[in-house]
């Protein structure tokens, strides 16, 4: 039997080179599943994404998903993509095993926690709003830190910094005065030790969402990251939001262990594979 992808509709083109197309997974012309492919709107047309890959229940366990995934890679190569991204539910054990077998590696995971009790802060710790005069220096440091993550993946320096700056400007159009955003500074015993950026009405989550937690290098290892997360939970509960989510990169094991110790659990695994 021959498994292949057959277009299920016209390709959709977006400004800036974006592309999206749905396909049927067929066995000898008979549909047995579906795939939707797209270029990533945030990362640009050189990055492809598998939005959907489903095989009908009676057809599972016969290698249909493997062939469909490999065919999807060929489509994205034909679009000029240099990498492919995939996000999976932690409960999708079969999908996770398939992705690993096909050479995908985890880039990070989304985690979330149900909130109930307003946590206290350690003695000597005070959280205050970021002052307008502190914002430019904070933005510069955060954009550079975000750009380094692209640089580590081989993105050219100018492109990495452009991506990072554009992402921050889109999320914080009015800087520190952006509505539904909490930019907070943690002081301990009178000294500034860290910052946290919380979106209280994010597009990517139903509750609050932490975009960045930063502890000054000279103050790390003293529990201030935990205090900042407790402050974020307080902000969410004060805003009437029952959950708090975040993303942690796969290489950041220290942060992941912190979030797990606070009760955060994975809601999605994010995977990447270079297309060579």
Q: Which residue range forms the structural domain that includes residue 65?
A: 3-81
* Same domain (yes/no): 125, 223: yes
* Same domain (yes/no): 234, 121: yes
More confident site: 13 or 205: 13
Q: 217 lies in a domain?
A: yes
- Domain count for the chain: 2
* Same domain (yes/no): 226, 133: yes
The region of weakest confidence among 3-12, 99-108, 201-210 is 201-210
The region of weakest confidence among 32-41, 106-115, 132-141, 159-168 is 159-168
Nearest to 245 by CA among 212, 210, 197, 194: 210
Nearest to 27 by CA among 64, 70, 57: 64
Query: Among 25, 57, 81, which residue terminates a domain?
Result: 81
* Same domain (yes/no): 163, 210: yes
Q: Provide, for the chain, the percentages of residues in helix, strand and coil under a 3-state DSSP scheme, each rounded to the nearest 5.
A: 35, 35, 30
We report the CATH number of the domain holding residue 126 as 3.40.630.30
Strands 125-129 and 181-188: antiparallel
Q: pLDDT tier at 263 (50, 70, 90 boundaries)?
A: very high
* Same domain (yes/no): 72, 184: no
* Same domain (yes/no): 129, 225: yes
113, 115, 121, 122 alpha-carbon torsion, rounded to 10°? -50
- CA distance linking residue 21 with residue 31, whole number of Å: 16
Q: 57 lies in a domain?
A: yes
Tens of pLDDT, residue by residue over 158-217, are: 888 888 898 889 999 999 999 999 999 999 999 999 999 999 987 777 799 999 999 999
Tens of pLDDT, residue by residue over 56-82, are: 999 999 999 999 999 999 999 999 999
Q: 159 lies in a domain?
A: yes
Q: Long-range contacts: 61-64, Cβ < 8 Å, 24+?
A: 63/3, 64/3, 64/25, 64/27, 64/32, 64/33
Q: Is-contact 267 245, C-beta < 8 A?
A: yes
* Same domain (yes/no): 150, 204: yes
Residue 217 corresponds to which tokens in the numbers above?
């290098």
Backbone angles phi, psi at 154, to 5 degrees: 90, 10
pLDDT of residue 1: 59
* Same domain (yes/no): 58, 127: no
Q: Is-contact 165 121, C-beta < 8 A?
A: no
Q: 267 lies in a domain?
A: no
Q: pLDDT tier at 150 (50, 70, 90 boundaries)?
A: confident
The pTM (predicted TM-score) of the whole model is: 0.89
Q: 96 lies in a domain?
A: no
């Amino acid at each position: 039997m021959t498994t292949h992808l057959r277009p299920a509709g016209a390709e959709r083109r977006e400004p800036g080179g974006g592309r999206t197309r749905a396909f049927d997974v067929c066995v000898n012309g008979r549909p047995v599943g579906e795939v939707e492919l797209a270029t990533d709107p945030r990362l640009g047309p050189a990055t492809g994404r598998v939005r959907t890959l489903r095989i009908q229940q009676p057809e599972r366990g016969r290698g249909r998903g493997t062939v469909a995934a490999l065919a999807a890679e060929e489509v994205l190569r034909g679009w000029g993509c240099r990498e492919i991204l995939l996000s999976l539910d932690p409960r999708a054990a079969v999908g996770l095993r398939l992705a690993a077998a096909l050479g995908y590696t985890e880039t990070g995971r989304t985690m979330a926690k149900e909130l109930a009790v307003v946590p206290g802060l350690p003695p000597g710790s005070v959280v205050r709003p970021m002052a307008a005069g502190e914002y430019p220096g904070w933005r510069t440091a955060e954009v550079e830190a975000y750009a380094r993550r692209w640089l580590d993946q081989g993105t050219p320096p100018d492109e990495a910094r452009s991506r990072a700056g554009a992402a921050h400007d889109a999320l914080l159009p009015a800087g520190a005065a952006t509505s539904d955003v909490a930019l907070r500074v943690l002081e301990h015993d009178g000294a500034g030790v860290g910052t946290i950026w919380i979106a209280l009405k994010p597009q990517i989550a139903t509750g609050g969402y932490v975009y960045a937690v930063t502890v000054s290098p000279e103050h790390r290892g003293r529990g201030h990251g935990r205090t900042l997360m407790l402050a974020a939970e307080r902000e969410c509960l004060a805003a009437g939001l029952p959950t708090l989510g975040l993303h942690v990169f796969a290489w950041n094991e220290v942060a992941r262990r912190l979030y797990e110790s606070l009760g955060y659990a994975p809601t999605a695994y994010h995977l990447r594979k270079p297309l060579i």
